[in-house]
């Protein structure tokens, strides 16, 4: 297997392989290994401090009381099934890493946790299908500071014309990495964009979300722009969300809809929704990890600020399509 991996790397002309992970504050981090020394890291990956999983979004210091500090290390082991040359970074490729401590998958690794939950679902014959829907701003540096890259509004065709080149580059780079682009349109804020990709199985969707964010930011930089996923950049402009689309399948059938039931939802769908609502306060610690998040999640801002579900209701934390 090692020989095959190295051959794939050489065939792609790769010099650096970035081993990426997403920490518990949703910061994408990585270490890059040069091809010359890569054979030493194929199986056991690179080392990182355990403290990395206790670092907040604001600064690189472990949160007090986390129990994670200067003592202890985990290995970031590459999942070579995710190896992908980066179309926007010649001679670079990326692979996602799993955290391993003392030869065992570490329980503070988000990717390990997701794998375990997927395995639990599959033990019940269930498959979770997911897709992330991201909003982001394109910004530019001017003499007055950082400002939106345009002044257009929702679904503006002018906005499409203004950014046709950079959006094309983004779409092509996403597709080159195996993501299927579904729709694109300018969003409500000036310079705000949305490029959606199609759903896939849960682990693939999570990996694609990391790759998506990396790609959008890199392509923007190459066009002298800055792409920001920050929830609330401008107090008087639309915020940027990341909507997670979920469905539950068994033997090729979507278990959530029931056209004959009240609300057209199956019993398992109602329980699924109830479980998410029950655990929503805890989930918020991971999905909204900064004070800036709460500048966006406010009532009557179409940001899902209410702990409820509703049909096509953009004020509800869980929106069910009709």
- Class of the domain covering 2-108: alpha beta
- Look at the domain 127-320 and name its fold: Creatine Kinase; Chain A, domain 2 (3.30.590)
User: Taking the domains of the chain in order of start, what are their residue ranges?
Assistant: 2-108, 127-320
Helix, strand or coil for residue 111?
helix
Residues 202, 178 contacting (CB under 8 angstroms): no
**Banded pLDDT at 241 (limits 50, 70, 90):** very high
Model pLDDT, residue 114:
98
Asked if domains 2-108 and 127-320 share a fold, the reply is no
Q: What does the pLDDT look like over 279-288, one tens digit per residue? A: 999 999 889 9
Please give the distance of CA 63 from its chain centroid, rounded to a whole number. Answer: 23
Q: Output the CA–CA distances (angstroms, integers) from residue 19 to 97, 131, 145, 161, 284, in the order listed.
A: 6, 23, 34, 36, 27
Q: What is the pTM of this model?
A: 0.96
Task: Report the half-sphere exposure of 181 (CA within 13 A, side-chain side).
Answer: 18
DSSP 23: -
Q: Output the CA–CA distances (angstroms, integers) from residue 142 to 87, 139, 192, 236, 241, in the order listed.
A: 29, 10, 17, 20, 26
Helix, strand or coil for residue 127?
strand
Residue partners of 170: CB distance under 8 A and separation at least 6:
195, 215, 216, 219, 220
CA distance linking residue 96 with residue 86, whole number of Å: 13
Q: What does the pLDDT look like over 299-321, one tens digit per residue? A: 999 999 999 999 999 999 999 99
User: What is the mean predicted confidence (pLDDT) over 152-163?
Assistant: 98
Q: What does the pLDDT look like over 54-91, one tens digit per residue? A: 999 888 999 998 999 999 999 999 999 999 999 999 99
């Amino acid at each position: 297997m090692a020989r095959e991996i190295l051959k794939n790397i050489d065939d792609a002309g790769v010099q650096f392989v970035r081993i990426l992970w997403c920490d518990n504050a949703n910061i994408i981090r990585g270490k890059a290994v040069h091809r010359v020394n890569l054979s030493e890291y194929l199986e056991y990956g690179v080392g990182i401090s355990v403290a990395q999983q206790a670092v907040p979004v604001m600064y690189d210091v472990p949160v007090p009381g986390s129990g994670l500090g200067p003592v202890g290390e985990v290995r970031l082991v590459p999942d070579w099934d995710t190896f992908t040359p980066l179309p926007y970074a010649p001679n670079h490729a990326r692979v996602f890493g799993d955290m391993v401590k003392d030869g065992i998958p570490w329980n503070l690794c988000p990717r390990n946790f997701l794998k375990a939950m997927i395995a639990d679902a599959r033990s019940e014959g269930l498959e979770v299908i997911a897709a992330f829907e991201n909003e982001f701003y394109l910004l530019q540096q001017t003499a007055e500071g950082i400002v939106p890259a345009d002044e257009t509004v929702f679904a503006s065709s002018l906005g499409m014309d203004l950014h046709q080149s950079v959006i094309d580059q983004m779409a092509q780079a996403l597709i080159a990495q195996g993501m299927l682009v579904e729709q694109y349109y300018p969003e409500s804020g000036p310079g705000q964009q949305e490029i959606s990709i199609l759903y896939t199985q849960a682990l693939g969707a999570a990996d694609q979300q990391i790759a998506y964010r990396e790609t959008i930011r890199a392509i923007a930089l190459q066009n002298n722009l800055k792409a920001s996923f920050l929830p609330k950049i401008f107090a008087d402009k639309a915020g940027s969300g990341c909507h997670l689309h979920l469905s539950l399948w068994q033997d090729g059938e979507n278990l959530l809809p029931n056209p004959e039931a009240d609300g057209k939802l199956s019993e398992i769908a109602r329980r699924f929704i109830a479980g998410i609502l029950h655990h929503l306060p805890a989930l918020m610690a991971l999905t909204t990890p900064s004070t800036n998040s709460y500048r966006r999640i406010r009532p009557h801002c179409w940001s899902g600020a209410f702990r409820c579900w509703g049909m096509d209701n953009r004020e509800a934390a869980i929106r069910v399509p009709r």
